[in-house]
């Protein structure tokens, strides 16, 4: 069982929802799907291929921080958390928060997004995600994983890390 909340993060198309959902199920954790908390205006911008700004993301991050503050210890949150300031905002809501960074290349991320059905994120926004990304590698409490690895391998790697059997 996960003892601390964890955020599965990365650019759109990296597989946050897939890994986050599988991890929550495997660990009996509560899943908070970050995309479900975007405002309708933010969703509409993304549908139209307009990249979100820090101001656009502020309320969304506040809501996610509130979810983390709700006191559940066994939580998996999926959230892009592209910038250090965003991650620090979430850390302030849940001391000890850990992040699993799903690293992927731009071409693979775009290819995955192009195959999605009925998702609000426009493939044209992939470049803006990479432009905004401030890699968390080297920050405390961060595990970098290869987003293209098979899901069972990712689950095993993350599970071992969360239990202290592996260090980032």
pLDDT for the residue numbered 63:
94
Q: Is residue 1 a part of any domain in this protein?
A: no
Q: What is the CATH number of the domain that holds 113?
A: 3.40.50.300
Evaluate if pTM is beyond 0.85.
Answer: yes
Q: Is the pLDDT of residue 168 over 50?
A: no
In what helix (H) or strand (E) does residue 130 lie, and over which residues does it extend? helix 126-132
d(CA 24, CA 155): 10
State the total domains in the chain.
Answer: 1
Q: Is residue 14 a part of any domain in this protein?
A: yes
Q: Is the pLDDT of residue 10 over 60?
A: yes
Strands 98-103 and 6-9: parallel
| Domain assignment of residue 38, given as a range | 6-162
Per-residue pLDDT tens over the stretch 80-133: 999 999 999 999 999 889 999 999 999 999 888 877 665 566 777 788 889 999
Smallest CA-to-CA distance from 8 within 151, 167, 116 is with 151
Q: Which tops the pLDDT comparison, 14 or 95?
A: 14
């Amino acid at each position: 069982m996960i003892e601390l909340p964890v955020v599965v993060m990365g650019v759109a198309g990296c597989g946050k929802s897939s890994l986050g959902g599988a991890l929550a199920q495997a660990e009996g954790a509560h899943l908070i799907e970050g995309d479900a908390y975007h405002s309708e205006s933010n969703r509409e911008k993304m549908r139209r291929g307009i990249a979100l700004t820090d101001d656009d993301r502020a309320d969304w991050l506040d809501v996610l921080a509130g979810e983390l503050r709700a006191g559940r210890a066994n939580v998996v949150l999926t959230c892009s958390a592209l910038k250090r300031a965003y991650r620090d905002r979430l850390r302030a809501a849940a001391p000890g928060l850990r992040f699993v960074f799903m690293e992927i290349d731009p071409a693979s991320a775009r290819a995955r997004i192009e195959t999605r059905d009925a998702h609000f994120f426009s493939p044209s926004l992939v470049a803006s995600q990479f432009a905004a990304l401030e890699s968390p590698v080297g920050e405390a409490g961060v595990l970098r994983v290869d987003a293209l690895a098979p899901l069972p391998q990712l689950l095993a790697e993350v599970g071992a890390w969360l239990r202290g059997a592996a260090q980032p």
